[in-house]
Amino acid sequence: MNVCACLCVCCAGDGQNMFLEGYFISIAGYHWGSTAVLKAWIVKTHTEFEGLNLNSAVLFSSYFFEILGCFLASLQTLLDFGESLSVVSLLKAFGFATFREFDSTFSLYWGSDANPLIGDGSKLKLYLKLMYFLAFADNGQINDASWIPSPTYIAEADMAWLLRYSGVASAVGLGTRALFLLKRFDEAVELALLGLKPEQTLKHNAVVDCHLVLGQVSASRGAKEEADGHFDAALERAMFSRLPFLQDRVLRLKAEVYSISFEGI
């Protein structure tokens, strides 16, 4: 079955292009593990947006929901699959050319009016900046991270309606990863523990991220039994989710971390 062809013809009543929105990418990735579908979508979507030259509020408004779908689902899926270069490339095709100009470009995209249901966009912007930071970091480019707010603020951002209920987006998940990468271990642990509170998140991938970061921090400190507990909890949640990719991710990361931290034990 040609998945791309089937989804290309599915459009919302108001003319939204559901293929470009890319919500199905999360299903193709987390459930099917289909890198072929991911790569086909990347090529088609990048080609489409690159030709639009999105550089004004008028143009952004014409593709607001297509880009929003990418923000909330497909881009994080690609990041989790190691497609960080594709994340950067797509963000640039959407008009987010540089990290320095991210705030001004987001203002053009979102506009000045706060939506009564999803707010003023500030929480979404934080999530996207964390994604942009991680995508560059995966390619050896650690940018200035002084803008990253406190763990409490990041956790509160995930309670915003848009991040709590839409796609696989999670500021907490990406925030714990960014703080761990920066070796700000105490803040990473604080955020992960906030993220694991029952009222905090509904998303399996975010909960798995929190357990994984706690496991990585414990391993970096030589606390094997503690690390075992966190990785076991991550695997338990991944299995509960019935998403094969999450299970594979936990097992691969655990093996990688243990080969470094506990070699010979």
pLDDT tens-digit series, residues 168-202:
999 999 999 999 999 999 999 999 999 999 888 77
With bands split at pLDDT 50, 70 and 90, how would you rate the model's confidence at 115?
A: low
Query: Between these two residues, 13 and 44, which has the higher pLDDT value?
Result: 44
- Does residue 97 have a pLDDT over 60? yes
DSSP-derived secondary structure letter, 5: H
Give mean pLDDT, residues 91-101.
87
Rounded mean pLDDT of 25-48? Answer: 91
Question: Do the Cβ atoms of 102 and 143 come closer than 8 Å?
Answer: no
| Residue 194, both tokens | 């906030």
Q: For residue 193, which of 174, 172, 177, 178 has the smallest C-alpha distance?
A: 172
Using alpha carbons only, give the angle 107, 163, 77 rounded to the nearest 5 degrees.
95
Instruction: Provide mean pLDDT across the span 89-97.
Output: 90
pLDDT band at 1 (very low <50, low <70, confident <90, very high): very low
Closest CA to 76 of 128, 149, 111: 128
Q: Rounded distance, CA 123 to CA 138, Å? A: 23
Q: Is pLDDT above 90 for 13? A: no
- Find the mean pLDDT for residues 117-132: 84
Statement: residue 139 has pLDDT above 70: no
Model confidence at 121, in pLDDT bands (50, 70, 90)? confident
The answer, yes or no, to whether residue 11 has pLDDT greater than 60, is no
218 vs 167, which has greater pLDDT?
A: 218
**pTM metric for this prediction:** 0.88
| Token pair recorded at residue 142 | 């650690």
pLDDT, average across residues 3-19: 53
Eight-state DSSP code of residue 113: P
- On the question of pLDDT at 165 being above 90, the answer is no
Q: Is 246 exposed, middle or buried (0-12, 13-18, 19+ CB in 10 A)?
A: buried
Question: First-to-last CA distance in the chain?
Answer: 48
pLDDT > 90 fraction of the chain, expressed in percent and rounded: 57
Q: What is the pLDDT of residues 244-261, one digit of tens each?
A: 999 999 999 999 999 998
| Strand spans (E) along the chain | none
Q: What is the rounded distance in angstroms from the CA atom of residue 174 to the CA atom of residue 114? A: 24
Evaluate if residue 135 carries a pLDDT over 70.
yes
Mean pLDDT score across all residues of the chain: 86
Average pLDDT over residues 49-53: 85
Structure tokens at 123: 């929480």
Radius of gyration of the chain (CA): 18
For residues 38 and 6, give the distance between their C-alpha atoms in angstroms, rounded to a whole number. 15
Using the CB atoms, write b or e for 71-86: b if 16+ within 10 Å. bbbbbbbbbbbebbeb
